[in-house]
Amino acid sequence: MVVASNTPQDWLSLGWIVSYPLMAVLGAMIFLSAEEIAQPTVRAVAAAVPAAAPVDWATDFANRVEALHRAVLAAPLQASVASEDRQGSGSVRWTHRLLELTVDRERRAEIETTLESLRAIDPGVSLVAEETFNGSQVLVGLDGLLTHTLRVFWSDEPPRPRVGLVIASLGDDLRLARRIIELDAPVSVAVRPFRPFSAQVAELAKMFERDVFLDWSGEDSERRGLEEALATVPGAVGVMLSGSEVKPELLASLRDRGLLAIIPDAAGAPRVPDVVAAAPRVMVIPMDGAVDPSVDAIIRQARSGGAAIGMCVSVGNDELRRMRGLLTRWSEEEIDVVKVSQLFPASSPPPPPAT
């Protein structure tokens, strides 16, 4: 019979050896917990920063553009505003200005320094300069958006001939109008009123920064008024008059509205009334394959008078291919294709702002 014994060697059993260290650990945990209660950890809390008032970037941007424009006009450049175009859409809208300046080439460093000082007006100002055939062109931007184009002409360099090209009788085919507007040249468009796509063609042309004219004839005026016709061609900068004798009172009305008037001359002889005698001569370019005689006449007019306007009607896919070839030829002959509105005298009334 085995009798239990209370000898010391029984008290030092294997279970006690294992549990004793665990008891020590448990005691340490209890001690540390008590210390944590006595001295709790203080967590850093960031001070609340009041939120800045929301900034209306669109409104602020338009104000900054105007402040930059005032600085450009105040600079000792003596540049004149050649044209103004409304840009943007929705709440983001501003006015892009084209300025022109003719100076001696010796003033180049002075002009560069003056333009560089515009960066101090606003941290978002950017300047990109590029050489042109008789001067330089500086693109002025704000927050990556173009706000001003400054064209500097050297007084000792003769200007190159300029030609405006207007494509008429648009408004029935939106797809064809888009191909015309996407030509690699600032081709102007004349849109017929009351057509299925009159408004869409005009809006697309303005989006591509093309001049838009109302294609207006005497037959139209007998049916509906000019005001109603202009409403179907939004953003028109002028009216192309054709189809009947142009009455002086109509021209006076266009002048009062701030609209330009162009009068095609199919016969090749000037037919510009006194009220618009300073306007460039307008010659029709047939696009049926027999282009050369008309093109040569336009080039001669541009070289002798500095500017001419060519008009094309009934343009289709075949005519569009010929037109691309015509633009390539003019580029090779150093003929500048510009907006039609740029060929009018600076004293002409400015086009109304786009709405």
Question: Which of 16-25, 127-136, 219-228, 233-242 shows the lowest mean pLDDT across its residues?
Answer: 16-25
Give percent of the chain with pLDDT exceeding 70: 69
Confidence at 120, pLDDT banded by 50, 70, 90:
very high
User: Exposed, middle or buried: residue 164 (CB in 10 Å: 0-12, 13-18, 19+)?
Assistant: buried
Mean pLDDT, the chain, whole residue set: 76
Has this prediction a pTM greater than 0.85?
no
Buried b (16+ CB within 10 A) or exposed e, 127-158: eeeeeeebbbebebebeeeebbbbbbbbeeee
Q: Fold for 58-154, please state it.
A: Beta Polymerase; domain 2 (3.30.460)
- State the Cα–Cα distance between residues 64 and 56, nearest whole angstrom: 12
The domains spanning 58-154 and 162-343 adopt the same CATH topology: no
**How many residues in the chain?**
355
How far the first Cα of the chain sits from its last, in Å, is 116
Nearby residues of 52 by Cβ (< 8 Å), 6 or more positions away:
none
- 61: Cα separation from own chain's centroid: 15
Confidence at 170, pLDDT banded by 50, 70, 90:
very high
Residue 188: predicted pLDDT: 93
> What distances in angstroms separate CA 235 from CA 84, 120, 126, 171, one per listed residue?
13, 35, 29, 14
> Contact, 310 vs 168, CB < 8 A?
no
In tens, the pLDDT along 191-225 reads 999 999 999 999 999 999 999 999 987 666 556 78
> Contact, 253 vs 260, CB < 8 A?
no
- State the Cα–Cα distance between residues 304 and 327, nearest whole angstrom: 20
Q: Which amino acid is at 351?
A: P
In tens, the pLDDT along 22-36 reads 555 445 554 444 444
Q: 162-343 falls under which CATH superfamily?
A: Glycoside hydrolase/deacetylase (3.20.20.370)
In tens, the pLDDT along 332-354 reads 877 889 898 888 765 444 444 44
Residue ranges per domain, the chain?
58-154, 162-343
In tens, the pLDDT along 277-313 reads 345 556 666 555 445 566 777 777 777 667 788 888 7
